[in-house]
Amino acid sequence: MQIGIVYAHFFGIMLHQCKIKVLYLLGNLGHLIGIGNDIDGIHLHELIL
């Protein structure tokens, strides 16, 4: 049971890190395309955290 809890916690951390990376990449992509800017990307990043 304890191992399951540790595994779930680790998986949650990995999932959270992936979400941050995806949002960061989307923010940069939006900046390159011209849809958004760096400030929008930072606010979105802070909102998820």
pLDDT of residue 26: 79
Q: Which pTM does this prediction carry?
A: 0.43
State the DSSP string of 4-41: HHHHHHHHHHHHHHHHHHHHHHHHHHHHHHTSS-HHHH
Per-domain residue ranges of the chain: 2-48
> Average pLDDT in the 11-15 region?
86
> Average pLDDT in the 2-27 region?
83
Digit-coded pLDDT (tens) for 16-48 = 888 888 888 877 776 666 654 555 555 555 555
pLDDT of residue 41: 54
Task: Give the integer Cα–Cα distance in Å for 49 and 46.
Answer: 5
Residue 19: both structure tokens together: 């979400």
